[in-house]
């Protein structure tokens, strides 16, 4: 019995650590974030510009938002997948980053056929840059956790 209590205390200590990444928690966070992104896309597709007017006040605001939102989504997806990766030669590719890059590419190209939206290569570049940066952070944190 005392051994079980010690195990529970250790588990609580580890789970309350800021560097403890529970895959299930990250998976739920990624799903909630995906829903939020979906709502943002729906509002933009419906031509709701009032919500996005403040972006015009910030230089490069739209690109920064693309970088942060899509990048953070890639971070959450990669963390929920424990930064699962594979190699092509010397290049390490994160599966979560590839999934998010595919979704971002589809969403950006869909804007070519939606009259209320504007396709932008620079938005896609900002998305990819965010995926690369935030994916690298997920890879680093996951590998760091494994070496502890």
Give the pLDDT confidence of 97-126 residue by residue, as tens digits.
999 999 999 999 999 998 888 899 999 999
pTM of the model as a whole: 0.81
CB 26 within 8 A of CB 79: yes
Give the number of other CB atoms < 10 A from CB of residue 58: 11
Residues of the chain with pLDDT under 70: 1-21, 51, 148
């Amino acid at each position: 019995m005392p051994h079980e209590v010690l195990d529970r205390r250790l588990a609580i200590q580890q789970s309350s650590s800021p560097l403890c990444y529970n895959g299930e928690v990250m998976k739920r966070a990624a799903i909630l974030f995906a829903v939020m992104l979906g709502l943002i896309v729906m509002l933009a597709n419906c031509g709701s510009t009032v919500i996005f007017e403040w972006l015009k006040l910030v230089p490069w605001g739209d690109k920064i938002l693309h970088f942060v939102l899509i990048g953070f989504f890639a971070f959450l997806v990669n963390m929920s997948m424990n930064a699962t990766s594979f190699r092509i030669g010397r290049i390490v590719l994160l599966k979560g980053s590839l999934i998010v890059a595919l979704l971002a590419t589809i969403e950006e190209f869909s804007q070519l056929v939606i009259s209320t939206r504007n396709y932008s290569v620079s938005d896609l570049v900002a998305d990819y840059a965010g995926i690369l940066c935030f994916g690298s952070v997920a890879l680093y944190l996951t590998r760091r956790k494994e070496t502890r």
